């Protein structure tokens, strides 16, 4: 008999709800996926009730809410929204026996290995080592990093702040870009390059280095121009971005021992997936002296579906904890 769970992925602008049916071991099916605008509801309770009122299925008795913000303590506050809630109180209001709140990237990390085959692209082939960690990293608004740790009863999600580790330039141009960013921010983390804002930082840096006026591009302008003309300045921005991403992914592999695989996530990479094969991503990831063979054996996959966070929320709801 399949179990059903209320799952949600709550951001500052949109709230996605669904019913996850199934189990992590056999797979989940997402039913009644709906995207609601946060501004249309006073609070999360009202949005969740509106979703539940719209479906005919039997009401689930447990669930998991993934939120864009830190989770800890009795009250959960979204980073870019006025919404806040107490998981225990919200569970009572929604008539749920249990409700787990978790960071949205942690949910996405947990859902990575549960994604359907047509929602994942192989970037680098390899042989995953069983019973070892899996790394899930993704440049989006910020740079998220989560680890999946295999346990006796279920997979545990380890949320990290790995995106704020220090950037390590490896080429002359990266040294110059890092110096430009350091002049503005002081400490240069990987997130200063590997995020939407990071694309802008790299673009501004290359404009400065090449003596070109910065045209005020947003991240989407940079990726669009890069896709249209790989030889353009924006093309070089994305090439540097992907090379740095490879270096970061390789660092994460050796630091964490994540030989179970690496998943790339976030909102930026699916739009520039076609540039990955011809980029320096894999060379920078795997060229590590005595650790080259170690890293080369680790597979890398790109998540292209937006279902990962909801699937991960289903698995966390099933386990009753992250």
Q: How far is CA 267 from CA 34, 76, 306, in A?
A: 19, 24, 9
Q: Which residues pair with 76 in a beta bridge?
A: 85
Residues in binding site for ATP: 8-13
Count CB atoms within 10 A of the CB of residue 247. 25
Q: Which residues pair with 77 in a beta bridge?
A: 84
Helix (H, G, I), strand (E, B), or coil: what is residue 284?
helix
Q: Contact 233/210 with Cβ under 8 angstroms?
A: yes
For every residue of 285-321, DSSP letters joined together read HH--GGGHHHHHTS-EEEE--TTHHHHHHHHHHHHT-
Distance between CA 153 and CA 135 in Å, rounded? Answer: 19
Distance between CA 191 and CA 165 in Å, rounded? Answer: 8
Residues in binding site: 8-13
């Amino acid at each position: 008999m399949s179990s059903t769970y209320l799952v949600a992925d709550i951001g500052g602008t949109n709230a996605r709800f669904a019913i996850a049916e199934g189990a992590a071991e056999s797979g989940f099916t997402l039913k009644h996926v709906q995207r609601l605008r946060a501004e249309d509801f006073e609070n999360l309770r009202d949005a969740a009730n509106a979703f539940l009122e719209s479906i005919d299925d039997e009401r689930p008795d447990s669930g998991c809410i993934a939120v864009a913000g830190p989770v800890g303590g009795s009250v959960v506050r979204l980073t870019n929204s006025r919404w806040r809630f107490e998981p225990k109180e919200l569970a009572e209001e929604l008539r749920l026996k249990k409700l787990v709140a978790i960071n949205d990237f942690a949910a996405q990390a947990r859902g990575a290995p549960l994604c359907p085959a047509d929602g994942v692209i192989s970037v680098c082939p390899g042989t995953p080592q069983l019973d070892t960690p899996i790394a899930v990293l993704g440049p989006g608004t910020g740079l998220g990093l989560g680890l999946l740790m295999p346990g006796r009863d279920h997979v545990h999600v380890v949320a990290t702040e790995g995106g704020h580790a220090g950037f390590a330039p490896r080429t002359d141009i990266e040294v110059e870009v890092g110096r430009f960013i350091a002049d503005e921010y002081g400490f240069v983390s990987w997130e200063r390059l590997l995020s939407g804002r990071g694309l802008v930082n790299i673009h501004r840096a290359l404009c400065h280095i090449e003596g070109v006026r910065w045209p005020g591009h947003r991240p989407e302008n940079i990726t669009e121009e890069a896709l249209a003309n790989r030889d353009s300045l924006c093309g070089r921005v994305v090439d540097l971005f992907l090379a740095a991403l490879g270096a970061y992914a390789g660092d994460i592999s050796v630091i964490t021992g994540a030989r179970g695989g690496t998943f790339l996530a976030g909102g930026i990479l699916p739009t520039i997936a076609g540039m990955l094969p011809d980029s320096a991503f894999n060379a920078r990831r795997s060229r590590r002296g005595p650790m080259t063979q170690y890293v080369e054996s680790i597979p890398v996959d790109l998540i292209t579906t937006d279902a990962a966070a909801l699937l991960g929320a289903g698995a966390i709801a099933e386990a009753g904890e992250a």
